[in-house]
Amino acid sequence: MFSSLLLIFFVHGLVYAILLFRKSYVQATRSDKWLGYFLLLCVLYICPWMVGFAGWYDNQPYRDLLFYIPFQHLYFMGPVIFFYVQSQLNPSFRFGKRECWHLLPGILYIVFSGVMFVTDKLVLRRYFFLASETDSDFDTWYQLTGLLSMLFYFILSIRYYSLYWKLMVQVISYADVVMFRWIRNFLFAFLLMMVVRAGFYIISSFLTDNYANSWWYFLVFAIIFYYIAIAGYSNSIETKIAFRPNLLSYRPQLLLHYQPTAIPGTLTEEVEFIELNTAMEEKQGDEALLEEWKQKIWALMEQQRAYEDPELSLTGVSRQLGTNPALISRMINAGFHLNFNDFVNQFRVEAIKRMIEKGEHRNQTLLGMAYDSGFNSKATFNRAFKKATGVSPRQWMEEHHPI
């Protein structure tokens, strides 16, 4: 029963990994490939417990196969989830020589396993490294350092997603559409994997050493990665706005990435390097200059109704006003005390309120008016309206202009 139940998750995880590799090849989505790698690592992770209950540790040559071939690649899991997050959020991310260094600990562990095999089986012809006759994958030092490695890359991934979120609300007016809440859910599931592992490790220290006790952890782990497989397969949309974050800086800054030519197959923004500081520590210039740009930006929105463009971006506004995105970003933050996304949505909400006051809600739906005002989804419209007024669109309409 123990072995067969894990076998179900093993097979399904393997199938999803193959499907993700195929999807990555057919649709040229790099994130699907990295998620496929992650699922492969997950099915390998539960493999020793699955075949262990099938008797492999009690019979040769299966015993030595499990002893000398590393199945739990803990040092690879962290970097792979970090690469997956980057490939979904940033079209300019490419796996290169610099990224290879992240895989070095995992490669060294494989080399170490090879050294153990050569020494024990070919040179000494007896167990030397494995004199305790236990699988080195379960050594305490490896499990703890592997958990710390995953925690480190989890923090990096959270940092990356946080910078991405701050960037989106500063440069586009449809931030809710590209918030990629799947990444948030994926990272939460990965965190749950680590928390459960740490919890079982602590609990096991108070219990008698029983092989079956740890099986429950591997079952929970399998359920979590099965959720990731199903949800991840249906959430492979990648963002089209390239950027270059600074993960090491304590200042809340982001740099948009300038690209002379768009990456094939994407719709990237061609922008200059922009530093976005949420703290707004830099001086914004004299009040006259600030007031001048406030009037220009306000006129573009109010008189030319630029907010009606559902894909309006900071870059687009700067081009229409003949300046650079960095200046527009600073002027909106300093002059209106709003990020770009909230600033534009404020005009859209006011446009809908004017339409309701004119009685247009009697001839078309609220969603129709939302689309006419520049919103591109019902969820974004509802959130923006409630954020601006404190109530839902329908509540506001019923209170002020009932049909």
User: Tens digits of per-residue pLDDT, 305-325?
Assistant: 999 999 888 888 988 998 888
Confidence of residue 221 (pLDDT cuts 50, 70, 90): very high
Q: Which residue has the higher pLDDT, 269 or 299?
A: 299
Q: Is the pLDDT of residue 205 over 80?
A: no
Q: Is the pLDDT of residue 267 over 70?
A: no
Confidence of residue 266 (pLDDT cuts 50, 70, 90): very low
Q: Which residue has the higher pLDDT, 207 or 228?
A: 228
Q: Indicate the average pLDDT of the chain.
A: 85
Confidence of residue 209 (pLDDT cuts 50, 70, 90): low
- Best mean pLDDT range from 67-76, 86-95, 282-291: 67-76
Q: Which residue has the higher pLDDT, 325 or 194?
A: 194
Q: Is the pLDDT of residue 262 over 60?
A: no
Q: Phi, psi (5° rounding) for residue 245?
A: -85, 160
**In 3-state terms, what secondary structure has residue 59?**
coil
Q: Which two tokens stand for residue 358?
A: 């004119």
Distance, in Å, from the CA atom of 158 to the CA atom of 388, rounded to the nearest integer, reads 28
pLDDT at 74: 95
Note whether 47 and 3 are within 8 A (CB). Answer: no
Per-residue pLDDT reduced to its tens digit, 322-349: 888 878 888 888 888 888 999 999 999 9
First vs last Cα of the chain: how many Å apart?
63
Confidence of residue 164 (pLDDT cuts 50, 70, 90): confident
Query: Average pLDDT in the 341-361 region?
Result: 89
Distance, in Å, from the CA atom of 229 to the CA atom of 38, rounded to the nearest integer, reads 9
pLDDT at 207: 66
Residues in a beta bridge with 256: 243
Domains belonging to the chain, first-starting first, are 2-239 (1.20.1070), 240-303+320-331 (no CATH), 338-400 (1.10.10)
Per-residue pLDDT reduced to its tens digit, 90-128: 888 889 999 999 999 999 999 999 999 999 888 988 888
Query: Average pLDDT in the 182-211 region?
Result: 85
Confidence of residue 259 (pLDDT cuts 50, 70, 90): very low
pLDDT at 247: 77
Lowest mean pLDDT of 2-6, 38-42, 146-150, name the range: 2-6
Per-residue pLDDT reduced to its tens digit, 14-73: 999 999 999 999 988 899 999 999 999 999 999 999 998 888 988 988 998 999 999 999
User: For the chain, how many helices (H) and strands (E)?
Assistant: 16, 2
DSSP result, 141-208: HHHHHHHHHHHHHHHHHHHHHHHHHHHHHHHBS-GGGG--HHHHHHHHHHHHHHHHHHHHHHHHTTS-
Q: Is 265 left (phi over 0), alpha (psi -120 to 50) or beta?
A: left
Note whether 221 and 150 are within 8 A (CB). Answer: no
Query: Average pLDDT in the 129-139 region?
Result: 85
pLDDT at 284: 46
Q: Is the pLDDT of residue 260 over 50?
A: no
Confidence of residue 273 (pLDDT cuts 50, 70, 90): very low
Confidence of residue 265 (pLDDT cuts 50, 70, 90): very low
* C-alpha to C-alpha distances, 337 to 256, 323, 342, nearest whole angstrom: 21, 20, 10
Query: Residue type for 93, please?
Result: F
3-state secondary structure 202-217: HHHCCCCCCHHHHHHH
pLDDT at 272: 44
Q: Is the pLDDT of residue 212 over 90?
A: no
**In 3-state terms, what secondary structure has residue 11?**
helix
